[in-house]
Structure 1
Amino acid sequence: KQIFRPHPNECSGSDLDGDTYFVCWDPELIPYKQIDAMDYSPAPTTKLDHEVTIENLTKLFSIAVDFPKTSVPAEIPQDLRVKEFSDFMEKPDKPSYQSHNVIGKLFREVKNLAPNECSIKFLTREKMQRFYDPDMEVEGFEDYIDDAFFYKSKYDYKLGNLMDYYRVKTEVEIPSGGIMKMSRSFTKKL
């Protein structure tokens, strides 16, 4: 029997299986008819009166997976949050430690073998001046130039890592999820 489901319900799932989507605010792509959102009234949260154990974490994971359906967030206590990351995770802005597991050893063995080139060219002051449009200036913009340069450089670094990892050629493929040609290593059948 065919059961009617509203489109928002059809588009969502709680299995976190890697569904991709793209958000675009082009007025021509916004539907002429708006449908009211479904009522996702949150269920009451559970407050724990005891220390969290590994068994309790499975409950938190279950709550996290069900979040799209229930709107109940999994609240992980501060003392259980990760404080340091393994070096192979390459998080330069976070505290890290040298992993002694197999993946850590492999990472350190091969990290200098790969070409140390980024897929995108980093932003430089010369590039900024070449594409600079004085008509876009707003009063007080000078106060934000250093911050903008810092965050753009950080964006370029992280984007470059993603592009190298997935071996994509253009910047637009990463935020849109529309990867034109996936690397063979990601399309192999296991």
Structure 2
Amino acid sequence: MALIRAGLGFDLKGPPLTDSSWEHVLFPPEEDYPTYDWPIRLGDADRLPDGLIGYYATAGEPGDEISYDRLHAVDPLDDSGYTIPIGKDEGLAMPARTTCQEPLTHHLLLLADPHVPVHATTGILTIASLALPADLIHQSLLRIRASFRLNPLLAPVRQAAAQEEDEPIPPGLVMPQPASWHGTWTWAEPFRPGSEDDVPE
């Protein structure tokens, strides 16, 4: 999973369209629809290539700080009040801004799958998507170190057995092994002062 800081805006590519009738050619009226709040829905549970799990948004108007009181989830498991479903009719809403107006941005914190894009759906525009660069994801994964605790380990001791080449297998513990051996695996164990048995390797 990845935490992604994102900014959501609703911008027009030009000035608002006005009434094109002859009586309004010289003095076009000012349209009201640029002031409307257009709903924006992030994520889609029915869309398989969508990686959004949930997001934190501002509690007030666009441009405010992000609130972490509620997680807007695509498919919440319970109704505890902390996670609320995004649903078809619930999401973000903001007015469209023209090129001569100051931009308006919703600040978001997305919880998503880094390998899959996040989609934004509106009622008037085509579906837009946000995807992280593949090289950025790969570099980040290479810097992650994972540790697996195996203590206490209840396992039998493997006894030495004779091989065809007369090279016995040294006795040791029988323990599960990872399915993939990519990268460098190391073994570490706690060191207790004064003990000759517990020597870290």
Q: Which interval holds the TM-score relative to the shorter structure?
A: under 0.3
Greater fraction strand: 2
Q: Normalized against structure 1, the TM-score is what?
A: 0.19
The structure, 1 or 2, with the larger RCO (C-alpha pairs under 8 Å, 6+ apart) is 2
Bigger fraction of residues in helix: 1
Structure 2 length normalisation: TM-score? 0.18
